[in-house]
Amino acid sequence: MAGATPRVLIVAGSDSGGGAGIQADIKTVTALGGYAATAVTALTAQDTLGVAGVIPTPPAFVQLQMRMILADIGADCIKTGMLHDAQVLEAVCQVLEREGQGIPAVIDPVMVAKGGAPLIDDSALERLTARLLPLSTLITPNLREAERLLSLPTESITDLSAMETAARQLLSLGCGHVLLKGGHLPGSRLYDLLMSPDHIEIFEDERLETPHTHGTGCTLASAIAVGLAAGMPTVEAVGRARRYLREAIRTAPGLGKGHGPVNHAHTVRPFEQPAPHREPERERDRERERG
């Protein structure tokens, strides 16, 4: 597949509002030059104000979607998002262990929607940490998700030093890399920490003050996944993904009454308007008249 389009299999829930979930993932992978295939784990009815309802996909059907894609189109990276219960988590783990062996896996441990609605059962948390995280190339928790994964008190990760400690604890669960996102820390500076067993990279930026941040976690994880699918080193894939997301936030279209979506399409050039058509004979006549 050298030189081919990077293929990303996305295993996540659908967001009817289009700002997060499968919809954000597809837009992101496409905007960054990849090919997105999907296994839908749940349907959600939601908008920028919150989640009104969730219909889960049967675990066997989630597996069927994944296996058909892997057997035919294939994947250069697998990215997971909303995995709402222990049965779906186990189903996904089985495919990763068998058909997905050797394919990089980016795990976004989605637990709570931007508006606060829970997106994973409490019973699934143990399965997530014990089964899924050890299969990951990279996990992308925010601070609240990291606290739940580590059974820490809420809001106990309060600074960069605590982030480093938490990232090391997450690595001990078997992850290949941890990208711990520091957006919940106070202050005008934003810190994300990328850690592997032998390397730490700290990304620092000025915080963008905006309510239009719906789907930022899904978008970042998918942007990293398409970079890994293209063969980029992890640090470079994360760096490019962060730059893509920051510009998507900065140029957000301002839709909705709550947490609005970002601008996933900012990398895509607008269609150029074709030059007006002129018949050759008439054009020559005009040239003679001007002469």
Active site residue 93: no
135 and 104 in contact (C-beta within 8 Å)?
no
Place of tokens 């080193």: 233
- CA atoms in the 13 A half-sphere facing the CB of 274: 3
The catalytic position among 217, 219, 227, 234 is 217
Active site residue 175: no
The catalytic position among 216, 227, 234, 260 is 216
Strand order of the β-sheet with 189-196 is: 50-56, 35-47, 7-15, 77-80, 105-107, 138-139, 177-181, 189-196, 199-206
Q: State whether residue 245 is helix, strand or coil.
A: helix
Give Cα 9 to chain centroid, integer Å: 12
The catalytic position among 21, 137, 218, 227 is 218
Question: Which one-letter DSSP state was computed for residue 135?
Answer: G
Active site residue 115: no
The catalytic position among 27, 79, 114, 181 is 181
Active site residue 217: yes
Q: How far apart are CA 201 and CA 25, in angstroms?
A: 25
- CA atoms in the 13 A half-sphere facing the CB of 120: 24
Place of tokens 């970002």: 262
14 and 22 in contact (C-beta within 8 Å)?
yes
Q: Which of 217, 250, 241 is nearest to 32 (CA)?
A: 241
The catalytic position among 17, 215, 227, 260 is 215
**CA-based angle 283:286:288, to the nearest 5?**
115
The catalytic position among 57, 137, 213, 234 is 213
Place of tokens 């090919």: 35
Q: Which residues are catalytic?
A: 181, 213, 215-218
